Structure formats: C-alpha cells, structure tokens
Copies of this chain bind each other. A is one copy, B any other.
Amino acid sequence: MSALHGRVLHASRLSLTRFAASKLCPSCQCLQVRKFQCITGMGRRLSQVELTSKRYPKLKRGPFATLTDADVSSLERLVSGRVITDKSDLDGYNTDWLRTVRGASTIVLRPKTTEEVSAIVSYCHDRGLAVVPQGGNTGLVAGSVPVFDEVIISTQLMNNIISLDEVSGTLVCQAGCVLAALDDHVAQRGLTMPLDLGAKGSCHIGGNLATNAGGVRLLRHGSLHGSVLGLEAVLPSGEVLDCMSTLRKDNTGYDLKQLLIGAEGTLGIITKASILCPQRPNVVSVALLGCANFQGVLDIFRETKTKLGEILSAFEFMDTASMEMIGENLRLINPISASPFYVLIETGGSNKEHDEEKLSALLEGLMEKGKAMDGTLATDTTKIQAIWGLRERMAEGLLHDGYCYKYDVSLPLPSFYQLVEDMRERVEGSAKRVVGYGHIGDGNLHLNVTSSEYSQHTMDLIEPFIYDWVANYKGSISAEHGLGFKKRDFIYHSKSPSAVALMKQIKNLIDPKGIMNPYKLLPSK
C-alpha cells in the first residue's frame, strides 16, 4: 500500500499539474490522483533502471556502517509500523523521478514528528549509518534518492498544517506537506504560497526549501531565502535546530536557517517551516504570444515589465521545438499560429478592470509594433489552465521520447538562447531533439536533449561542453534544480574555490561523520 502511494506521488507530478488538492489519502495523506497514470507505463519499469553503483563504477561507497537486522529492529521500535523493507515497495523510493538513477537502500522510515526524526538520525549517527532525506522525490538531479544503501527518511507522514495567521500571512507547517495542499489551504484565507511549480501536486515543502525551489512565481514573490521566516531541522547529530520564528523581522544573530535553504539535505533534515504568504490576487489573466525571433522575446519582456509593473506575476518562454514536442507527445494543442518562439505572460492583481486595461494596452502595443506575431488572452480558469499546461507539462512530455538529458541554467539574457542553438548543432545526429524553455524573467533556461535511450556518447557530447559554455558566459550551471548527485562535480564552474572550500568546512563542522545525504552537492574531489 505504502509503495503504491510512493508511486502515486510520482504519478501525481504528471497528472496533478495545477490540480487544486481537495482529496487527501486517508492513510498517508498523499494527494490522490483521479486517474492512475504511472510513468512506468510509458518508459522503463522501476526495476529496469540501472543501479547507480553500476552506471558510475568509479564511485566508491563511503566508510559507513551497513544496516544489520539488529538496526532494523531498533529503528522499527522508533517508528513502529511505519517502516518499509519489502524490496518491491522500496523501488519507488530508490529511483529518481526521471528514472535515471537507482539506489539500493533496504529501508524507508516514515516518521510523523520532529522527535521521531531526531531519534532516527541520532541512532544512525551513533551507528555510522548514512541517511538520505526524501520529500516528494520530484527532484531532477538525483538529490533525494540513495546512491548506495543509505537509510531513507521520508517526510511523507509529516504533513500537518500547524497554523495560519491571516493578518500577517504566516503559515506554519510540517516539512512533508504537499505544496498544492498548502496553496489550497491558504487560498481559503485569501493568501497564496510564494512559490509555484509544475511538481506542486506531489513535491513537499521541506524538499522545496531544501532545494531552494524557484518556479514560475519567483519573478513576483522572490526567492525562498526571503519568504521563509522560520525553520526547524534535525542536524546530523540528531540534535534539533530550532529557528522557528514566525516574525517577519528578526535580526538577532546569524540567520542560520538560510544555510539549510538550498543545502539539499546535506546539513540536516528540515522538519518544520514558517512561510510568509502574500495576498492572493483576485484576478488572474494569461496571454500567450508568438514571436518571430529571440530578440522579440527580450523586447516583449522589457515592455512588459514597464507596462504591467506590479501586476506581472510570471513571464515564461518556449521555443518552437518545445511546442512541437508537447503536441506530438502529449497531444496538447497550441492555440495560436506556429511561431519560432512563444511567451506566456501572467498577471495577478486586485482589480479586474484595472488589470485588463493594463494588459490590453500592452498587448495592443505589441501587436501594433509587430513584436508579437499572434496571441491569445485567457481570463477564465479553463483556458488559463490549458495555456499553463503547455508550459508546465514540458518535463512530462519530454519523458515520452525515452531518455532526457536535463539541464537548468541561468544565463545573462543576451546570450540566453545561443546555448540552445549551439547545443543543437553539437548533438545533431546523436539526439532526437533539443528544446529550450524556461523562466526568462529570471534568466533561467531549461535546456533538454532527448534520445530513445541513454548513450554515453551523447552524454560526452553534452558534458562538460554545456558547463564550460555556461561558465564562459558567467552563468550558473544549476539555476533552480540544485547540484544533487548529478552535477556536484561541476560546482567549480559556478562557484569560486574560496566559496567551495568554506562550504566543505561548514559541512565538516555540522556533519563531521558525513552521514547526511552523502555523495550530494559537494564535489567528489
């Protein structure tokens, strides 16, 4: 049952895009999907995914203890009845959402409270057992699955909403709450979560924080480093670090919670958070426009920022290869005429007439000046969801091609699209497609190369070429996905040696035994 839920959580990323969470599973409180449509139906079965230790034969297991029957019994006593050890049930927890890596953990623990997490980590610390924290397991850099046999600590059952202060907008909740469920909850009080992303139907807020998730609303509400007011975490020693403020301002000492945000679970397991939720817009409109070239996309962005000002809530872009892919693979319909580039503009404001007037003035101006070739405006929910689906279901659509080489980079806007064109030329003949889309308002490009199956030759064409390219343009090799297991060795492409050295010192200070999510974020050498 629990493993099915594990898989349902994966599936929900696919089918719950922008789904208002209304029904929760009574046993584990995961989001129930209406139609079970698991990814295993369209690609590799979980057990067919190659073991990470086999795909990366040079990688050595760390000097950690190996789980014994006595350990299992001891851990079972800490979270009685919430331990998974059945092999087939473990597959969903061992394998990443993209089906590109598979660990060999033999145990999943599902605590309900901070005290239970603390007891588990404390036990593992004393025994020298490595652990991996796991939320919704929707990450794209293999950061939340074991590499070898790490003990998996899942936040699935830590899903209590603790409080919501309507006046200040402060939400307090456990780390395992699903983002869509939280958004649904705060919506009832006229508030909105400060982040939104395609995986909202299954990702956990603890995972969002641990990976400093960005998403489509960062443009409006800023990063989680600004929105998170308080945080509680269990450190690698098992000690509870209590930074649970609910205050908007608190300048008393180092802001330790910031270290945990984006640490990808390598410094501790986030157990609770307090988050500032902005006012929910009363009115939302979405426009989809077609452009003749990439310069047109940039021109529209600049014009939009000026004309829409405070009501602009998202500005996304897709290239024509993305739009063709989602038509072929998911049969989604492009509502406007085919164009080389598309932009999606969302507004969210408090006054319908005012917002429509601003948006109409912008769109008319863009059409008149010939910046937009074609466009459509949506104000009703169904049409808005249909347009957002084109953008948010890209990741899902790409999986239908077979294997997806996934990149998520930040680049200065002038060189933004050049990378896609250079990559297309480079992998010609070795890849099925190369598509580019992303959060152009944040300078964040999602570049994806697909082929029917994994090929080391194709991989060698892509890496380290892409990282060198990005470093050369002073970009970031991971804008919002993090480094996880897959990208950690490229950290020097985006961070200075002095910064990485200090990161290592901090890791060593907080986790001297190195048991907390090993083989992630920090470079292997």
Which A residues are closer than 8 A to B by beta carbons?
165, 167-168, 190, 211-212, 214, 218, 222-223, 225-227, 235, 239-243, 245-256, 258-259, 261-263, 267, 279, 281-282, 298, 301-302, 305-311, 348-351, 354, 357-358, 410, 412-413, 439, 442-444, 474-483, 487, 491, 494-496, 498-500, 502-503, 505-507, 509-510, 521-522
Contacts and interface: CB of A to CB of B under 8 A. Distances in A.
Contacts of A239: 498
Nearest to A507: B254
A304 B281 CA distance: 14
Contact of A251 (B252, B348, B480, B499): B480
B251 A474 contact: no
A468 to B, nearest CB: 15
B251 A503 contact: no
A222 B218 contact: no
Contacts of A494: 245, 250, 252-253
22 contacts: A167-B301, A168-B443, A214-B249, A218-B248, A218-B249, A235-B502, A241-B502, A242-B499, A249-B410, A249-B443, A251-B480, A252-B477, A252-B495, A253-B521, A254-B503, A254-B506, A254-B507, A254-B521, A256-B499, A256-B503, A350-B358, A506-B509
B298 A310 contact: no
A243 B509 contact: no
Given A167-B301, A256-B503, 20 more contacts: A165-B412, A211-B251, A212-B251, A214-B249, A226-B226, A241-B496, A242-B499, A245-B494, A249-B480, A250-B494, A253-B494, A254-B521, A281-B309, A306-B350, A309-B349, A309-B351, A310-B310, A351-B357, A502-B510, A506-B509
Given A310-B349, A310-B350, A476 B249 contact: yes
A514 to B, nearest CB: 15
A279 B259 CA distance: 29
A18 to B, nearest CB: 22
A298 B279 CA distance: 16
A488 to B, nearest CB: 9
A491 B503 CA distance: 26
Given A251-B481, A255-B212, A476-B247, A167 B222 contact: no
A231 B499 CA distance: 11
B509 A505 contact: yes
B279 A309 contact: yes
A61 to B, nearest CB: 23
Nearest to A250: B476
Ranked nearest first, the 8 interchain pairs of A and B with the lowest CB-CB distance are: A226-B226, A309-B350, A258-B258, A250-B476, A249-B479, A222-B226, A242-B496, A247-B410
B307 A444 contact: no
Contacts of A410: 247-250
Nearest to A487: B252
A218 to B, nearest CB: 7
Nearest to A493: B252
Nearest to A351: B358
A491 to B, nearest CB: 6
Given A168-B443, A413-B167, A506-B506, A252 B483 contact: yes
Contacts of A242: 496, 498-499
A474 B246 contact: yes
Given A247-B410, A509-B505, A261 B253 contact: no
A349 B143 CA distance: 41
Contact of A444 (B222, B248, B509): B248
A419 B313 CA distance: 38
Contact of A253 (B190, B298, B503): B503
Contacts of A306: 190, 279, 350
B211 A478 contact: no
Given A310-B349, A410-B248, A499 B253 contact: yes
A28 B349 CA distance: 45
Given A254-B262, A279-B306, A247 B499 contact: no
